A and B are shown apart, each in its own frame.
Chain A
């Protein structure tokens, strides 16, 4: 169990650093994948509610430190994302439907994030969905699916095995 925590702590840290350094090169318009959500989903999928929610809060908090926006915004959205991934993990773990879990988790995360971010702005729900949430969610899922494929193909570790 401890091994998992050490391994995932490194993954979380790597994801946050890559988010600030490498991911900008993959930005399409203003859309970019969220590596932290991918790692968080994998972690919560495996460990359940308590650790998933806790990891969501702390990974979000650290992500916030490299952001110009409100401290706590990522903490909030990733806490809810961790909880969502854990709930879906309970539902889907036996079937190994990681991608479905990632899709729903990422959607919930982006909805919460962009809703709070654009609060008070002239922004309709339709725009919020079409312009921000859905493209970002699909981009994250695409990258998540690629990592999932690589992971299964070359490392064949137990985490995502179907």
Chain B
């Protein structure tokens, strides 16, 4: 080992650079923290500690509790409102299927945003709920306004969430009125893009964009945003649709994790 480090440190900086670059590519290839998970747990605990100090300085406990209860109430009402609107449209279109019931149930786990990921240019958020609270990888994350993202990493008491403002976040989405399905993506702008909507589809500004339910991750009917502008380029096959996100990602505080298979600590929201 000593000989190895001597060769690396002794034979010039370029060899050392090449060694670390190779190691970094190796890590990217496997993308598994393995033994480094212990360090991550320690860091998350420290982030949690800093967050709680921040909380002590910024909030009065009673107001916070009341606020949380009200937020939950508003959230439930908004979800019910969204679902009713969606159900109305669905009922009109699918009269023949009225006999079928939608029995999907989700357990909502309330969580607070305690920090942000250390990425640059894009953002992920760190939540104070983890696998012990029932959070699983790929669970969708929402707030009262709509879709926030999905859980990528879970630790016992924390989770790291990929939000929609991420180059790698793609969501199968549907235009609420025309029912056309496209893909929501982000390319570094304040808005989201709805891709792969054909030019012959009528899209109106202000139309809601919701999750399509075609992806195994996101259930249908969660609001993603509203159409902000529609453009056509004669050299492109599809419309260029900008979508204003329903969620204000700059002011994320409390979110809910939707875990279909979780049985604990959750608020049950049913579509029945």
Contacts and interface: CB of A to CB of B under 8 A. Distances in A.
A5 B143 CA distance: 44
A63 interface: yes
B24 A30 contact: no
Contacts of B117: 20, 66-69
B120 A136 contact: yes
A30 B47 contact: no
B43 A62 contact: yes
B152 A21 contact: no
A142 interface: no
Interface stretch (A46-54, A94-102, A145-153): A46-54
A77 B220 CA distance: 38
Interface in B1-35: 9, 13, 16-17, 20-21, 23-33
A68 B25 CA distance: 17
A114 interface: yes
A83 B13 contact: yes
Contacts of A105: none
A34 B43 contact: no
B43 A70 contact: no
Contacts of B65: none
B25 A30 contact: no
Contact of A66 (B47, B51, B188, B190): B47
B187 A20 contact: no
Nearest to B24: A76
Contacts of B260: none
Nearest to A15: B118
B13 A110 contact: no
Given A57-B23, A61-B27, A80-B21, A121 B152 contact: no
Given A21-B50, A123-B187, A132 B121 contact: yes
Contacts of A21: 47, 50-51, 54, 114-116
Contact of B40 (A65, A79, A83, A113): A65
Nearest to B28: A72
Contacts of B47: 17, 20-21, 66
Interface string B134-170: 0000000000000000001100000011100111100
A146 to B, nearest CB: 19
A110 B43 contact: no
Contact of B120 (A57, A86, A110): A110
A66 B13 contact: no
A79 B17 contact: yes
B202 interface: no
Contacts of A62: 39, 43
Contact of A71 (B33, B121, B250): B33
Contacts of B166: 68
A73 B26 CA distance: 11
Contacts of A71: 27-28, 30-33, 36
Contacts of B32: 71
A49 B16 contact: yes
A79 B25 CA distance: 12
A56 interface: yes
B40 to A, nearest CB: 4
B191 to A, nearest CB: 12
Interface of B: 9, 13, 16-17, 20-21, 23-33, 36, 39-40, 43-44, 46-47, 50-51, 54, 114-124, 126, 152-153, 160-162, 165-168, 187-188, 190, 250
Q: List 4 A-B pairs, minimum CB-CB distance, nearest first.
A: A72-B27, A49-B13, A68-B124, A76-B24
Interface of A: 16-17, 19-24, 27, 29-32, 34, 36, 49-50, 53-54, 56-57, 60-76, 79-80, 83, 86, 110, 113-114, 116-118, 121-123, 127, 131-132, 136
Given A30-B165, A66-B115, A114-B120, 13 more contacts: A49-B16, A53-B20, A57-B24, A68-B166, A69-B119, A70-B28, A72-B23, A76-B28, A80-B21, A83-B13, A121-B167, A123-B188, A132-B120
